[in-house]
Structure 1
Amino acid sequence: MKINWKVRLKHKPFLLGAFVLLLLLVQQIGALVGYDTTIYNERVTELFNTVLAFLVLVGVVVDPTTEGTSDSEQALKYEKPKDDK
């Protein structure tokens, strides 16, 4: 698996997803060691976690080689993943 980290780390949606993932991990680790991470009440915390999970999904799934959150014109034409071999 080859990943161009220089490009990925300059892509704002990816950075947002990575930051939010870090927040979720800190929250999970806090819960494991007994630290209460409830924001306001459990319902609000669950909604907050759902929003964070969606932001992680968007940030990780986005094509970092294009501007914004769209795929490139070339990638839109693929019927299956491109074989680089």
Structure 2
Amino acid sequence: MKINWKVRLKHKPFLVGTFSLLLLLIQQIGTLFGFDTTIYNDQVTDIFNTVLALLVLFGVVSDPTTPGMNDSERALNYDKSKGEIK
């Protein structure tokens, strides 16, 4: 697996997703060790966690070689991934 970390670390959606993932991980580790990580109440905490999970998803699936959340014109024309057998 080859990843261009130089480009990926400059891509804002990836950074937001990574930061959100770290927040979720810290919260889960804190809960594991008995720290109360409830923000206001359980329902608000659940909504906050869902928003963080969505940010992680957007950060992971975004293409760092294009601006915003869009795929490149070339990628939009793919019928299958590059590694698939013909």
The reply to whether TM is greater than 0.5 is yes
Per-residue Cα deviation, 1:59-78 (whole angstroms, up to 9, x for no partner): 11100011111000000000
Amino acid at match of 2:78: Y
Q: Which runs of 5+ in 2 are unaligned?
A: none
Separation in 1, partners of 2:41, 2:48:
11
Q: Which runs of 5+ in 1 are unaligned?
A: none
Find the counterpart in structure 2 of residue 39 from structure 1.
Answer: 39
Distance apart, 1:8 and its partner CA: 0.1
Find the counterpart in structure 2 of residue 21 from structure 1.
Answer: 21
Separation in 2, partners of 1:66, 1:19:
20
Find the counterpart in structure 2 of residue 9 from structure 1.
Answer: 9
Q: How big is the alpha-carbon RMSD for the aligned residues of Structure 1 and Structure 2?
A: 0.6
Q: What is the count of residue pairs matched by the alignment?
A: 83
Identity of aligned residues (%): 73
For residue 7 of structure 1, give the secondary structure of its aligned residue in structure 2: helix
Separation in 1, partners of 2:67, 2:48:
27
Per-residue Cα deviation, 1:26-73 (whole angstroms, up to 9, x for no partner): 000000000000000000000000010000000111000111110000
Q: Report the TM-score, using the length of structure 2 for normalisation.
A: 0.94
Amino acid at match of 1:30: G
Residue 75 in structure 1 maps to residue 75 in structure 2: yes
